Amino acid sequence: MNRYRADLHVHTVLSPCGDLAMSPSKIIEVAAHKGIDILGITDHNSTKHGSLVKKMAEKEGIFVLRGAEVTTREEIHCLAFFESDEQLDVFQKYLDTFLGDIWNIPEKFGYQVVVDEEEVIVEHVDKLLVSAIHQSINEVEKQVHQLGGLFIPAHIDRPFHSLISQLGFVPEDLNADALELSRHSTREDILRRFPGLKSFAFIQSSDAHHLAQMGTRTTIFEIERPCFEEIRMALAGEKGRKVHLE
Amino acid sequence: MKVKDIVHLLDLTVYSGEQGLDREVTGGYVSDLLSDVMGRADTGQLWVTLQTHKNVMAIASLKDLSAVLLVNKQKPDANTAEQSNEEGIPILGTTMGAFEVTGKLYELIR
């Protein structure tokens, strides 16, 4: 098995709260500099930058896991990752269908732009991407898994927008591939509060909105090679694949 | 005042947990953060929220609340209503928002 460093929760300029310097090329440059082998691109309620970053990152030998950070109806943030273009397209349509009609005010919330390889803006997204979609956490989980994706409640230790802040505790029947910790906590901390969670795989990520935050927390994957299926197996603890926090 | 009195006075819908309508309401708590309710709500209070997940009932039961009132026409998820029936803690509903219904509740049970 080989060892890969992953930061699976990174925003781009597409997220209104993402710094304007978070362009695909800058993100890749910083990821390469910080020794990140696997990068998760997770904008709020949008998958639209994943494929560009993936394509550009391949030249640097960085594997990109494409997905989004979904805000459920309960205002819980959850990471969702997909393997194929088709799965991403279907999930993007799902997000478009259920995102509410709340419009972004760029001066207040920040710009929501999709760029191309040369950093030319190709789309301004009008709807406020940080608002909640009209789907419950259970509905989002079902949709992600029906499409063959990975479902990971984000920064569960945080006092807002987390599974624990919104629902009090992790529902026992929740079908999550892993739970994510923010940079403010440790696995030991969360297990002290919730001993029942020790059967879950954990990841820890930076949730970077600025370049300087990237890689401040990482997860180590012990897998054959960086690809979606190997990452899935590591989270499930299958065939000797492992995941642990750095 | 009992849960059924409040249902009658404020014209609330009863979604589930009818057997608990005789529970005594000792006060109220308004919050949509279940972690907050778990820490701060007290026995016998009526909880006003728009959250409909099954965890709502786990916390209502843990804190021994008198009832849960869903605002803005929210309806309980199927398994939430199921647990409300098992626990005998009613889930109520209203078309009013939290501000309006809480004002009326406060007048009734302060």
A103 has pLDDT over 90:
yes
Radius of gyration of chain B, Cα coordinates, nearest whole angstrom: 12
Tell me the average pLDDT of chain A. 96
A208: left (phi over 0), alpha (psi -120 to 50) or beta: beta
**What percent of chain A is modeled with pLDDT above 70?**
100
Kindly list the residues of chain A whose beta carbon comes within 8 Å of any beta carbon in chain B: 74, 136-138, 159-160, 164-169, 171
Q: Residue B34: which of A137, A159, A166 has the nearest Cβ? A: A166
Number of domains in chain A: 1
Q: With bands split at pLDDT 50, 70 and 90, how would you rate the model's confidence at A189?
A: very high
Pairing label, strands B45-49, B27-30: parallel
Residue A104 has pLDDT above 90, yes or no: yes
Q: Note down the domain range covering A73.
A: 2-245
ipTM: 0.84
Query: What average pLDDT does range A168-173 have in this prediction?
Result: 92
**HSE (side-chain half, CA atoms, 13 Å) at A25:** 6
Nearest Cα neighbor of A13 from A58, A40, A44 is A44
Alpha carbons B15 and B108: distance in angstroms, whole number: 22
CB contact under 8 A, B52 and A171: no
Please state, in angstroms and rounded to a whole number, the distance separating the CA atoms of residues A48 and A15. Answer: 10
In this prediction, the residues of chain B whose per-residue pLDDT falls under 50 are none
Confidence grade of residue A32 (pLDDT, cut at 50, 70, 90): very high
Predicted confidence band at A172 (pLDDT cuts at 50, 70, 90)?
confident
> What SS3 state is found at B47?
strand
Number of domains composing chain B = 1
What is the mean predicted confidence (pLDDT) over A24-36? 97
Q: What angle do CA A11, A14, A20 make, to 5 degrees?
A: 80
The answer to whether the Cβ–Cβ distance between A166 and B58 falls below 8 Å is no
Q: Which domain holds residue B11?
A: 3-109
**CA–CA dist A164, A171 (Å, integer):** 9
CB contact under 8 A, B53 and A164: no
CATH number at residue A207: 3.20.20.140
pTM of the model: 0.93
The 10s digit of each residue's pLDDT in A68-84 is: 999 999 999 999 999 99
Q: What is the CATH number of the domain that holds B72?
A: 3.40.1390.20
